[in-house]
Structure 1
Amino acid sequence: MSFPVLSVALSNAVVFGSYSNALDYLDPSHRSSSDRSERSPLTAVFTAGCFSAPIDLVKVRLQSQTTGNKYRGPTHCVAVILREDGVKGLFRGMGALALRDVPCYGLYFLPYEFTCRMLTEKGKRPGNDAVLVAGGVAGVVTWACATPMDVVKARLQMSGGGGRVYSGLLHCITVSVREEGVRVFFKGLLLNSVRAFPVNAVTFLSFEMLMRAMTDSSQD
């Protein structure tokens, strides 16, 4: 747990920072607008969201370790991967990760903005209740779309780390379907959805409150 706990702040900073800067570039008018319900076209929101995908190979290896003491921590895990697989081992599953994160982070912000607009009167900032609901909806929608490729990504990242070895993305998908059926791609969907609603509701509320605080202070 130490690695994801310590890295989540940096990860979220990259995700929301990349999203905000990409939206600035795609829709310069939103930078000076205080109206969160109307500020950008939803196409720009989706495109900006696609610029904000993080990586988590080390986290997956540590969380999937069930027996033995192969990895003593994040640093040791990186050292073992480099020793056994070389630098390319650190990028195992990157194809699946890109296919999961790039479109899904676009979807992450799209339902959030759409729901905020539906729950907010025109010309007003969304209230805390609207932000919480919209953030929760965004989390559930994103994980519903991301779970199939998340299963593939995790299997590829565990390949060579104690799990079954796959030659690539298509091989992993083919073998998984042949042995376990299509339902294998929806393992963990219910748990991910139950977790995603409160986590993302709080994440977006924190983001909005911080942005409001910094915007208001800069205008004083």
Structure 2
Amino acid sequence: MNGFKVDDFVAGWIGGAASTVVGHPLDTVKTRLQAGKGYKNTFHCILTVYKNENVSGFFKGLSFPLASITLYNSVVFGVYSNTQRLIRESRTGTERRGPDLVELVLSSITAGFISVGIGAPVDLVKIRLQMQAQPVLSGSSGCFNIWYDILNFIPYTLLCDWLSPGEGAALNPFYICLAGGVAGSISWVTATPADVVKSRLQADSVYQRKYKGIVHCILQSYKTDGLQVFFRGVTVNAVRGFPMSATMFLAYELSLKFFRGL
């Protein structure tokens, strides 16, 4: 067995840093749409942020996730890859083989359980920083939705296998970006309803708290704004998910290739 590999963690850290820089402006727009007030649609939100806060408004809260989400991604990629390798070698005695859905799911769940403790507080602080132009905010964290990050792995791995020219053959950067981008869009669109609830819980007012918990937030949001409220930011998520995830997986794969070529 090849055992534990540290380079997965390092490559995950690099991939996380790259995707954070690329995706943060649209992440700010998404957060404002889901938890803020006065925005008619995505385009109106972008114009309003730019008019009131200039370009710097889109990068509010970047320094914290740049330092911390990179750590989160490092843990996610490191745990996921090492767990998948361990399961595969335990079952077959060899590392190289095509993707197995059981291995992908078990590895994703393991990475999710271990990384959720890092991801939830990071996301909470990021959202509060992004909402600085709104009324004073505080509130509880909806850490359950951290799973949308993990959902990237299964479609990405399956797409890479489908696009691969042959067993063991390396994908070129274009196909890595394509697989990563599609996986990112799928996972973010799928997670949008839960993401809306999470954002609202995290941006709840400290002095006039509206939501008692997850179920209460869902019911109140539906009562006040209708079913469409759970799809606020879905366009931003779909657009944002592609370059973010494409950049993350490309940086990860190229970094891993570099480290293992030393």
* TMscore range, shorter length: 0.7 to 0.9
- Superposition deviation, residue 143 in structure 1: 0.2
Partner residue in 1 for 2:133: 66
Q: Does 1:5 align with 2:66?
A: yes
CA distance in 2, matches of 1:64, 1:201: 27
Runs (4+) off by over 3 Å? 29-33, 160-164
TM-score (norm 1): 0.77
Q: Write the mapping of 1:1-220 to structure 2, written as runs, cut at 5 A.
A: 1-28=62-89, 33=95, 38-50=97-109, 51-52=111-112, 53=116, 54-55=119-120, 56-67=123-134, 92-94=140-142, 97-98=143-144, 100-102=145-147, 104-123=148-167, 124-161=169-206, 164-217=209-262
Same amino acid, percent of matched pairs: 36
- CA distance in structure 2 between the partners assigned to 1:198 and 1:162 by the alignment: 38
Task: Determine the C-alpha separation between the residues in 1 that align with 2:105 and 2:202.
Answer: 27
Contact 2:152 2:184 in 1 (8 A): yes
Contact 1:151 1:185 in 2 (8 A): yes
Q: Write the deviation string for residues 158-185 of structure 1: whole angstroms up to 9, x where unpaired.
A: 2234675201110000011111111111
Amino acid at match of 1:17: G
Root-mean-square deviation (Å): 2.4
Q: Secondary structure at the match of 1:62?
A: helix
* 1:67, distance to aligned residue in structure 2 (A): 4.5
Give the match's secondary structure for 1:27: helix
Give me the TM-score of the superposition, normalised by structure 2: 0.65
Query: How many residues matched?
Result: 191
Give, as a single letter, the amino acid of the residue that structure 2 aligns with 1:93: S
